[in-house]
Amino acid sequence: MRITRSLGRDEGFSFVELMIVVGIIGILVGIAVASYEISTSMSRKAACRANLKIIREQLLNYYTDHDGYPAELSALVPSYIENAKGIRCPASGDEYAYDPETGEVWCEFHDDI
């Protein structure tokens, strides 16, 4: 009984096959990182929107209690807003823009909120 081998082919993977697999894995990692960045950006924007909603509600409460708006947003902490981080944008870290005349508050980093 004779055992024959295939012509010129050893066991294992060739360099080209390994490089193709590494390339495919690299593409998948790139897609995953991009998806992660998009989802974190969207979650920060949602947190900013939620912060602005809470600030607007608490500004109305302040207005009701004091017959006027505060001179600055930090006057809402801690009586109306528990944490000073609540008056800052989660994405940029800057304090929200505020007009004490009208009581309007907005985020300069997220123009579309």
For the segment 18-71, what is each residue's pLDDT rounded down to a tens digit?
Answer: 999 999 999 999 999 999 999 999 999 999 999 999 999 999 999 999 999 999
Render pLDDT for 91-113 as a digit per residue (tens, 0 to 9): 888 999 999 999 999 999 988 87
Secondary structure of the chain in HEC code, one letter for each residue:
CCCCCCCCCCCCCCHHHHHHHHHHHHHHHHHHHHHHHHHHHHHHHHHHHHHHHHHHHHHHHHHHHHCCCCCCHHHHCCCCCCCHHHHECCCCCCECEEECCCCEEECCCCCCC
d(CA 38, CA 49): 17
Contact 44, 90 (CB under 8 A): yes
Give the mean pLDDT of 85-91.
88
Q: What pLDDT score does 77 carry?
A: 87
pLDDT band per the 50, 70, 90 thresholds, residue 5: low
Closest CA to 76 of 64, 84, 68: 84
d(CA 103, CA 101): 6
Instruction: Give pTM, 2 decimals.
Output: 0.70
